Structure formats: C-alpha cells, structure tokens
Amino acid sequence: MALTIRAGKTFDVKTPPHVAIWLENASFYHIQTLHEPNDLKAGRAALPYWDFKVRGWEEAKRKAAESGKDLNEQQEVDGVSGATQNSSFDPADYILPADPDNPMPYRLLIEIDQPDDDQPSLVYSAEVDNADPRAFQLLDLVGYPKREENDENGREVWALYFVDEPVGSAIGLIDSALLTIDRP
C-alpha cells in the first residue's frame, strides 16, 4: 500500500500543514493511525476529526482490555453474543484479510490543516473493498469537521460537512492523493 500526495498551490513547505492519515473500518471506527502530525499537541487541536476518532479508538481498546481482565471471575450471564465482522483492532485483518471469501472493507482518510489560516481542516477519503480490488484509487474530498451537540448519552459527536462554500486557501493544500495497492 502506498499513498502519494501531490502538494497543492497553497502548500507551504516553510510552514507545512498538520496532517494525519488513518484507517477506519466500514463502521467508521478508527483502526490505525498511519501518520500523525509532527507536533502532536498542536496537531490534535488542528485536526479535530482525527483526534476525535483516535480518542474513541483508545477508549474502545481500554474498555476491551478492562473487560478482558474480568473474564476469569465468576459472572452472571445476561446475554450471549458472537463476533462482529468489524470488531478487530488489527489493521492486517482489513488490509490483508486472512479469509479472502470474507473481506472487510475499510477507508483510508487524510485530515489536513494549515496553521493560522482561520479555516477548517479538510478530510479526504478512499474506500477500499477487497471484494472488488482496485490497484489505484483517488482520494475524494469528503468535507470539513464540525462538532455537533452531544448525543443522548452525553458523548461527543463530530460530523463531516460537505464543502459547499468557499474555504479559501485550504482547498489548495492538496492537489491530489492517490492510493496504490500492490496485490499479489
């Protein structure tokens, strides 16, 4: 897997933008960060969608680990469940599925933001489906992140909004992004 990002006309090498690249499963849950911003503290603030996704992933892993510690204790059973296809924390399960008859689709995402430009970050994405393999995929601009009201359980919610109005120079940070997957 290779990602080639062609810098746009507003990409400034002297003050490069914050960039995060990550994988999500088909249920839109973060499964692995492939590239995080050089300045992690500033990058988390500048890339709120990626930060939100990572925090959700870290919380899910923590809860899974905590529940695993209690598995040896005697507990009353109130339900039985089976494995869910998109529950894996291992990116290899998505990129190179062990069972070629049961591939799990995933998405590769990029969030980019130029420091001090007073514009929102932008998110680009490509969906990869091993059931319908393609060697080359262009990432599409999918929107800009915006915090919504908390859900009914008080949890933080972020959504991507379609870029339907001018965002200025932010749109020129990336000219194109091409995902290449070399399949056996």
User: Could you read off the pLDDT of 126-169 as tens digits, one per residue?
Assistant: 999 888 888 899 999 999 999 999 999 999 999 999 998 778 89
Residue 127's identity, in one-letter code, is: E
Q: State pTM to two decimals.
A: 0.83
Q: Which two tokens stand for residue 109?
A: 């995402």
pLDDT > 50? residue 28: yes
> What's the pLDDT tens digit per position in 86-103?
445 566 666 656 666 777
Q: Which two tokens stand for residue 68?
A: 């695993």
Q: Which two tokens stand for residue 77?
A: 């059973």
Contacts of 8 (CB under 8 A, 6+ apart): 171, 172, 173, 174, 175
pLDDT at residue 71, rounded to an integer: 36
The DSSP secondary structure of 48-68, one letter per residue, reads: HHHHHHHHHHHHHHHHHHHHH
- Answer yes or no: are the C-beta atoms of 174 and 3 closer than 8 Å: no
Separation CA 99–CA 93 (nearest Å): 9
Q: What mean pLDDT is predicted for residues 11-16?
A: 92
pLDDT at residue 70, rounded to an integer: 43
Q: Which two tokens stand for residue 165?
A: 């109005």
Q: Which has the closest alpha carbon to 8: 182, 181, 177, 172?
A: 172
